[in-house]
Amino acid sequence: MNIITVIGSGLIGRSWAMVFVSGGYRVKIYDNKPGQAANCINEIQKQMMELQEVGMLRGQLNATQQIALLSSHDDLEQALQGAFFVQECVFEKLDVKQNLFRDVERLVSGDVILSSSTSCLVPSAVFSMVQNRCRCLVSHPVNPPYYVKLVELVPHPDTMTATVDKTHALMTKVGQVPVRLRKEIDGFALNRVQAAIIAESWRLVQDGIISVQDIDLVMSEGLGMRYAFIGPMETMHLNAPEGLGDYLKRYGDGFQRVLRSFGPVPDFSAEDAKNVVSEMNELIPNDEQNLSARRERRDHLLMGLSRLKKDK
Ligand SMILES: NC(=O)c1ccc[n+]([C@@H]2O[C@H](COP(=O)([O-])OP(=O)(O)OC[C@H]3O[C@@H](n4cnc5c(N)ncnc54)[C@H](O)[C@@H]3O)[C@@H](O)[C@H]2O)c1
Ligand SMILES: *[C@@H]1O[C@H](CO)[C@@H](O)[C@H](O)[C@H]1NC(C)=O
Ligand SMILES: *[C@@H]1O[C@H](CO)[C@@H](O)[C@H](O)[C@H]1NC(C)=O
117-159: per-residue pLDDT in tens?
Answer: 999 999 999 999 999 999 999 999 999 899 999 999 999 999 9
CA 112 centroid distance within chain: 22
Q: What is the pLDDT of residues 262-273, one digit of tens each?
A: 999 999 998 889
Q: How far, in Å, from the CA of 99 to the mean position of ligand 1?
A: 15
pTM of the model: 0.94
- In this structure, which residue's CA is closest to atom 18 in ligand 1? 10
So what's the pLDDT on residue 310?
79
Mean per-residue pLDDT, 193-213: 97
Looking at residue 80, its pLDDT comes to 98
pLDDT at 165 over 90: yes
Could you identify the atom of ligand 3 that is nearest to the CA of residue 285?
2
How many angstroms separate the alpha carbon of residue 90 from the centre of ligand 1?
Answer: 4
Which pLDDT value is given to residue 308? 87
The CATH number of the structural domain formed by 190-229+267-310 is 1.10.1040.10
pLDDT at 35: 96
Mean pLDDT of 209-228: 97
Does the Cβ of 64 fall within 6 Å of ligand 2? yes
Contacts 24+ apart (CB under 8 A), 47-56: 47/18, 48/18, 54/303, 56/303, 56/307
Mean pLDDT for all residues in the chain: 96
Least confident of 42-46, 58-62, 189-193, 304-308: 304-308
Burial of 25 (0-12, 13-18, 19+ CB in 10 A): buried
pLDDT at 187 (0 to 100): 97
Residue 147's nearest CA partner among 276, 230, 242, 56 is 56
Q: State which ligand 3 atom lies nearest to the alpha carbon of 293.
A: 13
Q: Given ligand 1 and candidates 6, 7, 98, 117, which is best to mutate, with the most ligand atoms within 8 Å of its CB? A: 117
Instruction: Identify the CATH number of the domain defined by range 3-180.
Output: 3.40.50.720
- For the chain, give every domain's residue range: 3-180, 190-229+267-310
What pLDDT digit, counting tens, does each position of 231-246 carry?
999 999 999 999 999 9
Q: Is 285 in the pocket of ligand 3 (CB under 6 A)?
A: yes
Nearest CA to ligand 3 atom 5: 285
CA angle, residues 230, 231, 233, in degrees to nearest 5: 120
Residue 269's φ and ψ, nearest 5 degrees, are -95, 0
- Atom index in ligand 1 nearest the CA of residue 96 equals 31
pLDDT of residue 312: 64
The mean per-residue pLDDT over the stretch 180-188 comes to 97
Asked, colleague to colleague, whether 3-180 and 190-229+267-310 share their fold, the answer is no
Query: Per-residue pLDDT tens for 28-54?
Result: 999 999 999 999 999 999 999 999 999
Distance (Å, rounded) from C-alpha 121 to C-alpha 152? 13
